[in-house]
Amino acid sequence: MGDDVVSFDPSEFRMTRSTVKKVIRRSAAALCRVYVGGRVVEVTREHKFAKHVNGRFEVVEASELKPGDLLPLHKSFYASRLSDPDVAIADEMVKLSIRAKEVLHSAYKAAGKTYEALAAASGVSRSHLRNVIGPVSCRQSLRRRTLDVLTRELGVEGEWLDAESGATGFKVRPSVQLYELLGYVVADGCFTGDRLSISDKDFDILQLYADKFLQAFGRPARILKGPHRNFELTCHSLPLGRFLRRLLGRGMVRSRQREVPEFVFALSAEHRAAFIRGFFDGEGWVGDHQVCATSSSLYLLIGMQWLLSSVGVDSHIRRAPASGFDKAENADFYTMTISALKRFRDFVGFNSAPKRAKLEARVQRGQAQGSRNELLPRDEVVPILEGLAASHTLHAHPGHQTIYDVIAGRVKPNMATVARLAASFDSAKLREIAEREVVLAEVTSIEDMAGEHTVYDVVLDDTPYFVANQVVTHNCDEEFEAFMLEVFSDWQVTIPEIGTIKATHPPYVILTSNRTRELSDALRRRCLYLWIDYPTYDKEVRIVERKVPGINHRLADEVTRFMESLRRMRLAKVPGVAETLDWAHALAGLHADHLDETLVSETIGCVLKDADDIKRFRAEVQKSGVASFLHVAP
């Protein structure tokens, strides 16, 4: 709580700042995965978005979104510089000379302790210990902390290690080369047992990274010829494996579960760019118009997208269906594309010479700045273009026909078009719009995600809008969920202007719902559930006569029969008992004693509250008459 986050002002179409009031962790039975403008966001089906329709924003649920809907998208990503990671190898290995092993063996014999006792104290196996300090030993090294425990147990003191013994292994040097190497490992590396392996068809790039390996760790790696015309950069080392697993975390798991290690987001811009460069050396390629990277891990590409945005490079993610063996296994791949080639070259680039040369050729050929898939509000762009058309001789400027096309609606005001027109007409107003951090992006697809998932409800102090994976979302329902979960779990209510009010006794809470909104699984789990159906005919007549004093029995009977008939129709908003009572009160106020077609037509708005429902009802009345609604058997 209290963190400063990016928010959104729909009236100004600008990003703002807000403060987090509360974050609630809960589980959900099913989610939606929404692809928006090359970004991916996973939300509950009832989570809300701000959809742009005809120059204004409407709040809709995720379950109501359709491909082609426009949502606001925040193009920037702010990476906070927290602290550099600890890149020291804690389990330093010590190589023991023959003389040092004899000292340990003599101390073992003098101490009178068993191998089992020493193994339990030092945390290694009996056989491992015996292979180091036994009379016939075949191992020459121990970890530093294991050796410290062993010498303490055996009572070895003083400077007993001779000149031939000493620390061995890796000396990690934090540098650009280290982070390039780590990005390359996350992209293409694997570690099995005590062996790091990275495969590539390009021998030169492996040689380049072997040099970086030596610079980063102070120890050489080997390059071997592998199968299928591949080459393999390899290094055998248990300490290296422990170091990489500790530092990279989920960046070293199986390919489909890989993610960008958390520490990378806290690096300096230079080191973040180095990590990205290493990743694209391993997974990236240069196409005709884009730089691309493909992975079977969606979350790995999402993390790389965040990193690219943090250094000023825009990217898009889409699903790329697998083929061949992967298709047989029903495995999907995801592709990240980067259209801003010049920005990628200037801020990231490649170490690979062939990729670097190909990228430079594409940049020199010229590429459109901005994206054709990211739109700007038409109601802001068109007035500026109309002003340019009135004040300039359009045919003297490149791209003048585009102005007519945008004004007429034949071309959408996308980022690439607006940026090109801003440069052509030297328009400060167009340039200001094109340089905003927020654009409109299309929903390209929506997928259902089954299974139990953990989600987080974010409540802000002064606005319902917040940014999730660069997509602007609306959290109005989550604030209600947060309020109720606080009541159920902590027996308290937090009011920002007053403070926290805690109940002295466990409260009994009754929630009534007409199913117009979905209650979360976390909220349902804390409740007993009771379904109350519509009342029977006799019961509803009694309710009307009790709640509407003075109504005659015939009118109460006809109103009840009429409502039962309405509830059998396919209506968007089925009227309940509350609508029955509202209508009965209105009819009693008009001194009506029975229903007829004119009276029903004039007062049906008390019952039906949806325009389509009223049209459907009038069509049914025109076909069958009002009498058909009254002939329902009680």
- CB burial of 54-83 (b: ≥16 within 10 Å; e: otherwise) equals eeebeebbbeebeeebbbbbbbebebeeee
Does residue 106 lie within any of the structural domains?
yes
Q: How many domains does the chain have?
A: 5
- SS3 at position 404: helix
Rounded to whole angstroms, the Cα distance separating 523 from 414 reads: 42
What is the structure's pLDDT at 1?
Answer: 54
The answer to which of 21-35, 61-75, 321-335, 451-465 has the lowest mean pLDDT is 321-335
Pairing of the two strands 316-321 and 141-143: unpaired
Query: Last residue of some domain: 333, 365, 397?
Result: 365
Does residue 218 lie within any of the structural domains?
yes
- Looking at the structure, do residues 308 and 411 belong to the same domain, yes or no? no
Amino acid identity at 138: C
- Looking at the structure, do residues 105 and 50 belong to the same domain, yes or no? no
Rounded to whole angstroms, the Cα distance separating 225 from 206 reads: 11
- Looking at the structure, do residues 225 and 311 belong to the same domain, yes or no? yes
Domain around 39: 4-76+443-486
Does residue 370 lie within any of the structural domains?
no
Does residue 371 lie within any of the structural domains?
no
pLDDT band at 328 (very low <50, low <70, confident <90, very high): very low
pLDDT band at 633 (very low <50, low <70, confident <90, very high): very low
- Looking at the structure, do residues 422 and 394 belong to the same domain, yes or no? yes
What's the CATH code of the domain at 146?
1.10.260
Does residue 508 lie within any of the structural domains?
no
pLDDT tens digits, one per residue of 438-492: 889 999 999 988 888 888 877 777 677 888 888 988 865 556 667 777 788 788 8
- Looking at the structure, do residues 225 and 360 belong to the same domain, yes or no? yes
Rounded to whole angstroms, the Cα distance separating 93 from 83 reads: 27
The answer to which of 63-77, 257-271, 470-484, 527-541 has the lowest mean pLDDT is 470-484
Does residue 574 lie within any of the structural domains?
yes
What's the CATH code of the domain at 219?
3.10.28.10
Rounded to whole angstroms, the Cα distance separating 15 from 147 reads: 57
- Looking at the structure, do residues 70 and 214 belong to the same domain, yes or no? no
Q: Read off φ and ψ for residue 586, nearest 5 degrees.
A: -65, -45
- SS3 at position 44: strand
Does residue 203 lie within any of the structural domains?
yes
pLDDT tens digits, one per residue of 546-599: 999 989 999 999 999 999 999 988 887 889 899 999 999 999 999 998 998 889
Q: Where are the beta strands (DSSP E) in 421-503?
A: 438-449, 453-460, 465-468, 471-474, 492-495, 499-502
**And the tokens for 185?**
């490992």
Does residue 164 lie within any of the structural domains?
no
- Looking at the structure, do residues 471 and 424 belong to the same domain, yes or no? no
What is the structure's pLDDT at 631?
Answer: 66
* Cross-sheet strand order for the sheet of 291-295: 284-286, 291-295, 332-338, 316-321
- Looking at the structure, do residues 447 and 428 belong to the same domain, yes or no? no
What is the structure's pLDDT at 359?
Answer: 94
Residue 326 has pLDDT above 60, yes or no: no
- Looking at the structure, do residues 280 and 331 belong to the same domain, yes or no? yes
- Looking at the structure, do residues 140 and 193 belong to the same domain, yes or no? no
What's the CATH code of the domain at 479?
2.170.16.10
pLDDT tens digits, one per residue of 110-129: 888 888 888 888 888 888 88
- Looking at the structure, do residues 26 and 129 belong to the same domain, yes or no? no
pLDDT band at 8 (very low <50, low <70, confident <90, very high): confident
DSSP per-residue codes, 125-162: -HHHHHHHHSSS----EEEHHHHHHHHHHHT--SS---
Does the reported pTM lie above 0.85? Answer: no
- Looking at the structure, do residues 23 and 101 belong to the same domain, yes or no? no
Amino acid identity at 96: L
